[in-house]
Amino acid sequence: QHTDVMGPLLAVRKVPCGFDTDVNAPALEEFRQFARPGEESCAYVTVGTGIGVGLVVNGKSVKGLMHPEAGHIPILKRPGDSYAGRDKHPHPWSLEAQCCAGAIAERAGVAFEQLKELPDDHEVWTDVAQMLGSLCATLVLVCSVERIVLSGGVMLRLSLFPKIRKACREMLNDYIQHPRILKDGPDGIDGYIVPSERGNDAGIYGALALATDALAAQK
């Protein structure tokens, strides 16, 4: 924070440089490379040590007052979920404080390093799916994005995807009458809430997208 990142890079060599958040950049690249014909928007969510959301609308990453901070929105938890949130987090009720990797480990009562060893049928993943399903429902209702990409270390657990889709659909409760939500399969919700095509390399590809834009802007 409050650090000049671009200045030293530009001082070394006068080459085009791009700069954006670690979710906006991969969101833009994922949209450009994998959007379906006619699509103009997507949300890119990373779930790991923190939670971030990048938005692309009308083919451009969203920036206003600043970048989106959707990891800090309130979310709908399961009844009886009494977890208080990460200690010292500014928004303990937020998605990030409740559902980042550290929070999941605390919920499960295991060390952070043991999180990947939890079985897929552990109850904590039902809580995680509920909260991420709540985020997806919010993105549908507020942003009306045409695709939601879930990435980051936690989302390498692919068994979460069916649970998240189910939770999202249940929360929307048939209010959004669109086949991408109502139907199953690749033309339905299975192709709407999806893992990143780039996996753990999404950030690198996002940086390349920024570099491509910077080079094009210089010409």
pLDDT for position 217: 84
Q: How far apart are the first and last CA of the chain?
A: 31
pLDDT for position 99: 97
Q: Where are the alpha helices (DSSP H) in the chain?
A: 6-12, 24-34, 95-99, 101-108, 123-143, 160-172, 179-182, 202-218
Question: What are the strands of the beta sheet with 41-47, ordered from one edge?
Answer: 60-61, 51-57, 41-47, 148-151, 193-195
State how beta strands 193-195 and 148-151 pair. Answer: parallel
Cα–Cα distance for residue pair 190/60, rounded to 1 Å: 24
pLDDT above 90 (res 64)? no
Torsion of CA 196, 135, 23, 218, to 10 degrees: 100
Domain of 79, in residue numbers: 6-209
Q: Would residue 138 count as lying in a domain?
A: yes
CATH code of residue 174: 3.30.420.40
pLDDT for position 123: 94
Cα–Cα distance for residue pair 197/33, rounded to 1 Å: 9
pLDDT above 90 (res 202)? no
Q: Would residue 215 count as lying in a domain?
A: no
**Would you report the helix, strand and coil content of the chain in percent, each value rounded to 5?**
45, 10, 40
Cα–Cα distance for residue pair 20/7, rounded to 1 Å: 14
pLDDT for position 133: 98
pLDDT above 80 (res 1)? no
Residue 138 CB contacts under 8 Å (≥ 6 apart), including other chains: 70, 73, 75
pLDDT above 90 (res 20)? no
CA separation, residue 137 to residues 34, 125, 168 (Å): 22, 18, 5
pLDDT per residue as tens digits for the range 36-45: 999 999 999 9
Identify the DSSP state of 90: S
Q: Would residue 48 count as lying in a domain?
A: yes
pLDDT for position 185: 97
What residues does 94 pair with on adjacent strands?
Answer: 74
pLDDT above 80 (res 219)? no
pLDDT for position 132: 98
Q: Mean pLDDT for the chain?
A: 92
Q: How far is CA 218 from the centre of its chain?
A: 31
Q: Would residue 64 count as lying in a domain?
A: yes
Confidence of residue 200 (pLDDT cuts 50, 70, 90): confident
pLDDT per residue as tens digits for the range 117-168: 999 999 999 999 999 999 999 999 999 999 999 999 999 999 999 999 999 9
Q: Would residue 218 count as lying in a domain?
A: no
Domain count, the chain: 1
pLDDT per residue as tens digits for the range 76-108: 999 999 999 998 899 999 999 999 999 999 999
Confidence of residue 74 (pLDDT cuts 50, 70, 90): very high
